[in-house]
Amino acid sequence: MQDSLTLQLVGEFIGTLVLILLGDGVVAAVSLKKSKAEGAGWIAIALGWGLAVTLGIYCSAFLSPAHLNPAVTVGMAIAGVFPWSSVIPYIIAQTLGAIVGAVIVWLNYYPHWQETDDSAAILGVFATGPAIRNYFFNFLSEFIGTFVLVFALLAFTRGKFTSGLNPMVVGLLITAIGFSLGGTTGYAINPARDLGPRIAHQILPIANKGKSDWAYSWVPIFGPFAGGAVAALAYLLIP
């Protein structure tokens, strides 16, 4: 049993690493100076994150359920389809994977940080931030986005997909959330996705970086946890 859990944790670590490497990577490509993708815009970012989730799931689903998201893990536990005893280990593995993924993004774009003098854009590669800072509505936005995510994931468990297709459907779901709901806060909808890279931003010697905006950091942590939990409770109300 312990060996099984260890393999699952490895899967969550690898999957979240890939998720952040490709997701933060597309933001870096669009945001950093002298990148060939500089200025590609929101469409590139939303599509890139959808693909990042899809490929993160494919890279880890043979080892674990491929939650790659503490809010999903907690939501699945509330819904009764995941053991509570594994929740904290999963969250730790996911967060560590997110940190390592962010470090690799920093290395991949190493010369570009020096060329980029916008510290807000640099932070935006690693962590989310609001278009308009209003903590209540920022929290609400993260709550709604994660509610949609977790409720849909639970609903998918009742449907039948062709073998191997589920990760693509989840990627489309993330892309839809990004296009439709993500313009307010950058749609973390995943505590590890924001916290892990924000920690990396804090500790790495990134050229031209500013502060890590820890005053905002609680929003993309607790908003997704709350949204995922309520989504699971709503799902349980359905016969």
- For 177-209, write each residue's pLDDT tens digit: 999 999 999 999 999 999 999 999 999 999 999
Give me the pLDDT at residue 164, please. Answer: 80
Tell me whether residue 120 is exposed, middle or buried, using C-beta atoms within 10 angstroms of its C-beta: 0 to 12, 13 to 18, 19 or more. Answer: exposed
The confidence score (pLDDT) of residue 2 equals 59
- Determine the average pLDDT of the residues in 69-82: 98
* pLDDT tens column, 104-135: 999 999 999 999 999 999 999 999 999 999 99
Tokens of 130: 């609001």
Residue found under tokens 């890139």: 48
- What is the maximum alpha-carbon separation in the chain? 56
Domain 5-237, what fold?
Glycerol uptake facilitator protein (1.20.1080)
Query: For residue 97, what pLDDT is reported?
Result: 98
Query: For residue range 140-184, what is the model confidence (pLDDT) as tens digits?
Result: 999 999 999 999 999 998 877 776 889 999 999 999 999 999 999
Share of the chain above pLDDT 70, in %: 98
- Report the amino acid identity of residue 87: V
pLDDT surpassing 90 at residue 28:
yes
**Residues 156, 66 contacting (CB under 8 angstroms):** no
Q: How many helices (H) and strands (E) does the chain have?
A: 10, 0
Residues in contact with 59: Cβ distance below 8 Å, sequence separation at least 6, in sequence order: 14, 15, 18
Q: What is the mean pLDDT of the chain?
A: 96
Q: Residue 1 pLDDT more than 70?
A: no
pTM of the model as a whole: 0.96
What is the SS3 assignment for 179-199?
A: HHHCCCCCCCCCHHHHHHHHH
